[in-house]
Amino acid sequence: MSRVLYFDCFSGISGDMALGAMLDAGLPFEDLKRALGSLALGDAHVHADRVLRAGVSAIKFRVHEHQHDRLHEHAHGVAPQQAHAHDSSARHSHDPESAAHQPHRSLPDIYGLIDRSALSEAGRGRAKALFQRLAEAEAAIHQMPVDQVHLHEVGALDSIIDIVGIVYAMEWAGADRIVCSPLNVGGGMVHSAHGLFPVPAPATVKLLGDAPVYSGAVQKELVTPTGALIATGYAGSFGPMPAMSVERVGYGAGDRDDPTTPNVLRVFIGREAAAADVGHRVGGAAGEAERVTVIECEIDDMNPQIFGVVMDRLYASGALEVFYIPVQMKKNRPGTLLTVIASPDRRAQLADVIFRETTTIGLRHYDVDRECLQREIVAVETPIGAVRFKVSRRDGRVMNAVPEFEDCAKLAVANNLPVKEVQAIAANAYHAGRPDPSAASAGRAAPGGERS
């Protein structure tokens, strides 16, 4: 039975609201701080405070940058939810003076920071692809090449923290399916570093693409570029809340406290409802399956350096799995079989990515059933440091507990130990903290972090 995450964007979405909602849903704040601290962004600190928005309790995520002695709130009193700023969370660059204080980081600079983060290898690829989409949106709007985009906004400190933080949070959630409600974008006009723009701002519109949107009673900017990026970058579909058994609920607060409408993003995390209850069972008595689409093509004439970029772009566009297999093609040429697994409603978008990014002139697709174990990420303290485990269950029983390889590799370097020894230490710590024999017998100390 797959895990489901649902973004309820009745009051819009921004980067800080998304992180606040995930923290409220149970994301360990200390783990998030460690992941963000690895970015080496200088004298910056993150805070998570419980606040009220129209009487609703929520978590407000903030970044405090001592260098300029300012919080996420707009420096001149314009509420961040009223301004989008291209920096992904609508907090600084609507004010030209505030934007002037932002570092002018290039995409390679940002990629370097991401490479030094505590994200998994797949997470680093996802974060880079998200920043690439932000830069491409700006480039399209201002009619310039991506490498010439002025990144004082895209490269702002809180943008980097929001995007790396949400990638880490989504890895923690371990959702197999992500759904988003139609987005309330608000209305009115908004000040930015480039002038006075209508809501939603041009960059937000570009990032939203064909996602369903509407304008409600609140006539302020409710969806920021980073919010649009998160929604469209992660959601496999848009619509009403799917049938699910809710295990966690989180509320992430925006800065403004509207007296009538809670300025919050709501996140639901849980298990897909039993298929027998909703009429979609496709598995037998041994388990339940979900329908996915397989997209394939063979390629024998493409620069092999491009394959890594293609994989990043496909994952950023919602692919569940991407992998390559060497094959022998006609005229006895060696080639590569590209296989993409995705939810059926992502097929057209992923096909566009394949045709745009590769040299193939055709592809095929077909639907299959997929059965997965329930998964979650659990932090385990060991004598040499914390290690994340991917714990997989079936009907409540632990089937596998795998330490994340990246965590083990970093601890191995820090403690001058072989990676296999760190994996053994982590496995022992996991078993020691879980006396249940079924859990202990199912644990595995093997390189982890693979998608399935």
Q: What is the pTM of this model?
A: 0.60
State the chain's mean pLDDT as an integer.
82
| CB 429, CB 387: distance < 8 Å | yes
Cβ atoms of 111 and 104 closer than 8 Å: no
CB 319 within 8 A of CB 340: yes
Top pLDDT among 114 and 452 is at 114
280-306 per-residue burial string, b: 16 or more CB within 10 A, e: under 16 = eeeeeeeebbbebbbbbbbbeebeeee
pLDDT (tens digit, 9 = 90+) per residue, 367-414? Answer: 888 888 888 888 899 999 999 999 998 888 899 999 999 999 999 999
| Region for 209 from its dihedrals, namely left if φ exceeds 0, alpha if ψ lies in -120 to 50, beta otherwise | left
The H-or-E segment that residue 270 falls in is strand 264-272
Assign 126 to helix, strand or coil. Answer: helix
- pLDDT at residue 442 tops 70: no
Predicted confidence (pLDDT) per residue in 293-343, tens digit: 999 999 999 999 999 999 999 998 889 999 999 999 888 889 999 999 998
